[in-house]
Amino acid sequence: MPESVTFRDKGGNDPDALYYQVDLLKTLNEKLTDSIGVFDQFINMSGNAYAYYNFKNDYFEAVGNFEALFGMPASRRTDAELLVEYAMEEYRDALRELLKVEDQPGGEAKLEFCIEESHKWLEGHSLAIFDTDGSVVEKYVCFHDITRFKLQHDELSYLAYYDDLTGLLNRNFFIQKLNLLVQKAQEENVKVSVAMLDIDSFKRINDSIGLILGDELLQHVGQFLLSLNTENTIVGRFGTDVFVAAIYNPSGSDTIENLLDTIRRRLTKPFILSNKDEIYLTMTIGVASFPEASGSGFDVLQKTEICIYAAKDGNKGGVKYYDNELMRQFVANFALEKRLQDAIVASHFMLYYQPQYNVRTGKLRGCEALIRWRDEDGRFISPADFIPIAEKSGGIITIGKWVISTALQNYQIWQRLYGFDGILSINISAIQLKKDNFIDELLDYMRREQVNPENIEIEITESVFIDNFHDIIEKMKSMQQFGLRVSLDDFGTGFSSLSYLKNLPINTLKIDKSFIDTVITDDATGIITESIVSMVRRLGLETIAEGVEDERQMEFLKKIDCDNIQGFLLGKPMPEEEFEALIAADRQS
């Protein structure tokens, strides 16, 4: 028993009573120690740190995990001001405020702050106790670790603003920033130039290297584009393989020309992937500026997109700058596309047939089916105008099916009524041919109409080879195996090399009208046409000359041994009844 403690019994110095009181105190002391132990345990388990002030007694105590949260050793936990030093500079004043004596309204306050050394995020939460005249007597502060929550939050906001694959601005954030730049440019009377960059044939590259390497390639491109960021330039990713850059007040070295130059130079070198693959890319680029192209950021972006469409119509890998003529064409095409959609729904199409004749015998070889569109005002719109638009919008698939089924239905009638067994040529667009089930569907239609594949000729142009030469060749071979004929249309307008013809699985070659037009008037054309015909005959292919308009052309073609002719001279494209009459007449001749 400590010497300083003395007990005085009311009734005198009764030693028993004294012992009893000592025991009682001991028990109470043990209980208190136990409670403090439990309390400490809870504090430790909570992982939090707590500070307590009693302003009346000028007493401060810091308990709990200061070591883990602040990195503060126990020896320093004597003064609130020492705590403040652990926070990052910019939070120190606020933390001091949280800990300070003066009361806060309502007595409670909260603060998020970051620790200098560890970059841990803490939340401090204080509660002040007031006395009856309203001044603070005590204060309790609890600190806890919110780092994980904070990181998750940061990640979410990162994902909301940035593209996770490349680290470039994402679409929404780019548009938001661009709109601000345009607003500022308007106030300051300067320009904002925008370039949209589209990697050419990315889908094909992605298909051939696989998704994972495809992503890696995009990351490389993204990293390069990220390096184009300057004080005045922002770069974002818009879609899988579409990127955008905007330059505020282009001047000095920050100009679109310089930017495009840098990109062009980069693209002369390959992107090297982790498996050592070297990939060369080209990009199609559209450029438009505020205020020339439009008055808002979003509009300028749309204009760059229009430029890309236009650029892709020409050669890939090109750059197109926005101008009024481009816009006029776009608007006209857009209107036509809208009407075309309506026409598909209302089936405003007709199928005409243009006869083809054997030059030697003068007999009907067959015909080519050519689509006609008569709009609601009764005007004919040329397929040369609407087919390319239907190819872009995908409407060609529906139109193409209609052409095939209508042509085969008619053929079946001619067959039944007149025993017709000539050749029916049907034009097929690359988009149709690329469809996986194209041949199956075609064969289905033929089975339904009981038309023999040997009487059907599929006309394709060289453009079908652009994207995927080998697949298309396989398809052509497979069509031939089913007995179908394959014809190469418009020969002379594409790459038209005679040497590659011998490797193509085709039956017929159609010599383009542009040759026939000058075959009489231009000696060189005459000679070329003659050599094409003789070479093609030697390859065992049939020839058809297209667009024969006068007798002299026909005589010339006969002389050089061209097999067949098709043209206004012997018959324009005509409705089905008229063609039926031709069949009937041919049978009698």
Contact residues for Ca ion (CB under 5 A)? 427, 459, 489-490
Is 355 in contact with 566 (CB distance < 8 Å)? Answer: yes
**CB-nearer residue toward Ca ion: 179 or 493:** 493
Residue recorded with tokens 């309390």: 39
Quick one: which segment of 236-244, 270-278, 367-375, 411-419 binds ligand C2E (CB under 6 A)? Answer: 367-375
Least Å from the CB of residue 411 to ligand C2E:
14
Task: Indicate whether 384 belongs to the interface with ligand C2E (CB under 6 A).
Answer: yes
- Within 8 A by CB and 6+ apart from 447, the residues are none
Q: Which does 403 bind (CB under 5 to 8 A by kind): ligand C2E, Ca ion, none?
A: ligand C2E
- Within 8 A by CB and 6+ apart from 502, the residues are 539
Q: How far, in Å, are 143, 346, 369 from residue 374 at the CA level?
A: 78, 11, 16
DSSP β-bridge partners for residue 285: 197, 319
**CB-nearer residue toward Ca ion: 179 or 463:** 463
Closest CA to 491 of 525, 514, 520: 514
Task: Indicate whether 553 belongs to the interface with ligand C2E (CB under 6 A).
Answer: no
**CB-nearer residue toward ligand C2E: 136 or 369:** 369
Quick one: which segment of 34-42, 219-227, 366-374, 413-421 binds ligand C2E (CB under 6 A)? Answer: 366-374
The H-assigned helical ranges of 488-522 are 498-501, 513-517
Give the chain's count of helices (H) and strands (E). 21, 21
Least Å from the CB of residue 479 to Ca ion:
16
Task: Indicate whether 549 belongs to the interface with ligand C2E (CB under 6 A).
Answer: yes
Task: Indicate whether 318 belongs to the interface with ligand C2E (CB under 6 A).
Answer: no
Task: Indicate whether 370 belongs to the interface with ligand C2E (CB under 6 A).
Answer: yes
The only residue of 268, 382, 521, 588 in contact with ligand C2E, by rule CB under 6 A: 382
DSSP β-bridge partners for residue 50: 63, 142
**CB-nearer residue toward ligand C2E: 285 or 548:** 548
The secondary structure of 208-226, three-state, reads: HHCHHHHHHHHHHHHHHHH
Whether the ω angle into residue 291 lies within 30 degrees of 0, i.e. cis, is yes
Least Å from the CB of residue 401 to ligand C2E:
11
Q: Which does 355 bind (CB under 5 to 8 A by kind): ligand C2E, Ca ion, none?
A: none
Quick one: which segment of 13-21, 24-32, 54-62, 379-387 binds ligand C2E (CB under 6 A)? Answer: 379-387
C-beta atoms surrounding 126 within 10 Å: 21
Structure tokens at 391: 């190819």
C-beta atoms surrounding 162 within 10 Å: 17
Is 307 in contact with 287 (CB distance < 8 Å)? Answer: yes
Q: How far apart are the first and last CA of the chain?
A: 141
Q: By rule CB under 6 A, what string of x and - marks binding of each residue 395-434 to ligand C2E?
A: --------x-----------------------xxx-----
Q: Which does 573 bind (CB under 5 to 8 A by kind): ligand C2E, Ca ion, none?
A: ligand C2E
Q: Which does 234 bind (CB under 5 to 8 A by kind): Ca ion, ligand C2E, none?
A: none
Quick one: which segment of 10-18, 78-86, 318-326, 547-555 binds ligand C2E (CB under 6 A)? Answer: 547-555
Crossing angle for the helix pair 171-188 and 297-313, nearest 10 degrees? 110
Quick one: which segment of 40-48, 116-124, 526-534, 540-548 binds ligand C2E (CB under 6 A)? Answer: 540-548
**CB-nearer residue toward ligand C2E: 267 or 574:** 574
**CB-nearer residue toward ligand C2E: 323 or 578:** 578
The only residue of 457, 489, 542, 563 in contact with ligand C2E, by rule CB under 6 A: 489
The only residue of 99, 263, 311, 387 in contact with ligand C2E, by rule CB under 6 A: 387
Size of the site for ligand C2E (CB under 6 A): 22
Quick one: residue 524, left, alpha or beta (phi over 0 = left, psi -120 to 50 = alpha)? alpha
Residues making up the chain, counted from first to last:
589
Is 495 in contact with 465 (CB distance < 8 Å)? Answer: no
**CB-nearer residue toward ligand C2E: 1 or 466:** 466
What sign for the dihedral angle of Cα 460, 462, 464, 465?
positive
- Amino acid 435 reads K
Task: Indicate whether 492 belongs to the interface with ligand C2E (CB under 6 A).
Answer: no
- Amino acid 248 reads Y
**CB-nearer residue toward Ca ion: 179 or 514:** 514
C-beta atoms surrounding 169 within 10 Å: 24
Quick one: which segment of 146-154, 302-310, 363-371, 576-584 binds ligand C2E (CB under 6 A)? Answer: 363-371
Is 404 in contact with 426 (CB distance < 8 Å)? Answer: yes
Q: Which residues bind ligand C2E (CB under 6 A)?
A: 354, 369-371, 382-384, 387, 403, 427-429, 489-490, 546-549, 566-568, 573
